[in-house]
Amino acid sequence: MRIALMRIAECLPAWRWRRPQGVARPFIVLSLLVLLAGLASVLLGAGEVGPGRAIAVLLGGGDAEARFVVGSLRLPRTLIGIAVGVALGVSGALLQAMTRNPLAEPGLLGVSAGSAFAVALALLLGASAATLRVSAAQLGALVGCLCVLSVVRMRGVGSDPIRLVLAGAAFSALLASFTSLLLLFDQRAADEIRFWVIGSLSGRRIDDLIAVLPSLLVAGVIVLAIARPLAALALGERVASGLGHRPARVRLLVILAVSLLVGAATAIAGPIAFVGLVVPFAARALAGPDIRRALWLCVPLGPLMVVSADVLSRLLVAPSEMPLGVLTAICGAPVLVAVVRARRMPTL
């Protein structure tokens, strides 16, 4: 433990408490937008309680039903949406920077599918405690990440962004069919997991969020520590070594952070695709190519996308709800097509 701490402390001088230039204003604007979306998420819903009654609750009044709906259903849901958005957005940006591939995304590359498979396996073996589910999801995500890394290191594939995505899609499909296979074995697990597999924020409790908070914090510390080496790594492995960073170690830390983040997000909300693609894409468009600035912007952009998609998913087909994963896929797939169709594939 002490050695590990010293190792992290070794990294620290490389990372100074200096805010990247020029992201303060978009960061603040986006954070305000996230607040607005969160407010909308608390006020609007598919059920009976409308904005008027919800405002009454927020002002301290309101009837018992409205208080229950707002306090116990919508508020946790909004908070969970924010956490999931941050985790998925940041992990997407990290993966893209590490693989130097604008299409790398936890959902597309099979990281989410890995953790979904691990959770299904854990449920099948009899686990049901929330913490166990989180660690299973994170382990699965770690394995998925390691697969991605080994594919990237393979000659010829890593340099071709589209081939990596194809391999990821094939890997995801394979894992998804394994997951359905597991679900066929066990009706109980299937019932428990059916809505979770699609990816949704409905019916999640605040305990789930508390269970994953420690790992989110650890991942946050890791991300702060590796932002600067990662930016150097974007210039190529040799440049990064020349600047005094250790590419292998940075990569391992990235993988650790990504699997903590994706595992946590998947454990709460199920596999939600395309957030990790769209958010870094928008962040780069706003902040330019520097990974540190893009990472800062991913922090508000992720929740903005997830929470507003969640609000829409409640309103579009009211009185029922549609799964969040459906809406993010409908928003995200066109972005994927647009990136692919760009005449010159941007390499990171």
Partner 1 sequence: MHDRTLDIPQLSDEVRVPAPPGSWRLAWRWPVAEPRWASVLVERRSVIANLLLTVVLLLSSLMYLAVGSVVLGPLELLAVLRGEGDMVAAFMVHELRLPRLTAAWLTGAAFAVAGCLMQTLARNRLATPGIIGIDNGATAFAVASVVGISVSLAPPAMALMGAATAAAITFGLAVGGGTRGYRFIVAGIGVGAVFGAITQLLLARVGIDTANAAYPWTIGTLNARPANAMVVLAVGLAIGLLLAMWLSRSLSLMRFSDAVAQGLGIVIQRRRWQVLTVSVLLTGLAVAVAGPVGMVGLIGPEIARSLSSRRGVPIIGSALAGALVMVLSDLVGRVLLAPIELPVGIVTAVVGGPWLLWILLRPASRNLV
Q: Fill in the per-residue mask, 291 to 320: x = in contact with partner 1 (CB under 8 A), - = not in contact.
A: --------------------------x--x
Residue list 179-238, contact with partner 1 (CB under 8 A): 180-181, 184-185, 198
Q: Which residues of 290-319 are buried (b: 16+ CB within 10 A; e: fewer)?
A: bbbbbbbbbbbbbbbbbbbbbbbbbeeeee
Give the span between the Cα atoms of 107 and 275, in whole angstroms: 8
Give the residue with the Cβ less far from partner 1, 128 or 150: 150
CB closer to partner 1 out of 148 and 212:
148
The one among 70, 111, 151, 212 contacting partner 1 by CB under 8 A: 151
Q: Give the count of beta carbons closer than 10 Å to the beta carbon of residue 176.
A: 17
Shortest Å, Cβ 289 to partner 1: 22
Residues 99-118 that bind partner 1 (CB under 8 A): 103
177 touching partner 1, by CB under 8 A: yes
Q: Is 154 in the site for partner 1 (CB under 8 A)?
A: yes
Give the one residue of 33, 79, 157, 348 binding partner 1; rule: CB under 8 A.
157
Instruction: Give the range of 28-36, 117-125, 173-181, 280-288 binding partner 1 by CB under 8 A.
Output: 173-181
Q: Contacting partner 1 (CB under 8 A), which of 16, 18, 25, 155?
A: 155
Distance (Å, whole) CA 181 – CA 70:
38
SS (H, E, C) 256-294: HHHHHHHHHHHHHHCCCCCHHHHHHHHHHHHHCCCHHHH
Q: Which CB, 198 or 243, lies closer to partner 1? A: 198
Distance of closest approach, residue 52 Cβ to partner 1, in angstroms: 27
Instruction: Give residues with Cβ within 8 angstroms of 309, minimum separation 6.
Output: 324, 327, 328, 331
CA distance 242 to 315: 53
CA atoms of 82 and 34, how far apart (whole Å): 8
The nearest distance, CB 181 to partner 1, in angstroms, is 6
The DSSP secondary structure of 321-336, one letter per residue, reads: ---HHHHHHHHHHHHH
Contacting positions for partner 1 (CB under 8 A)? 103, 151, 154-157, 160, 162-163, 165-167, 169-171, 173-174, 176-178, 180-181, 184-185, 198, 273-274, 317, 320-323, 325-327, 329-330, 332-334, 336-337, 340-341, 343
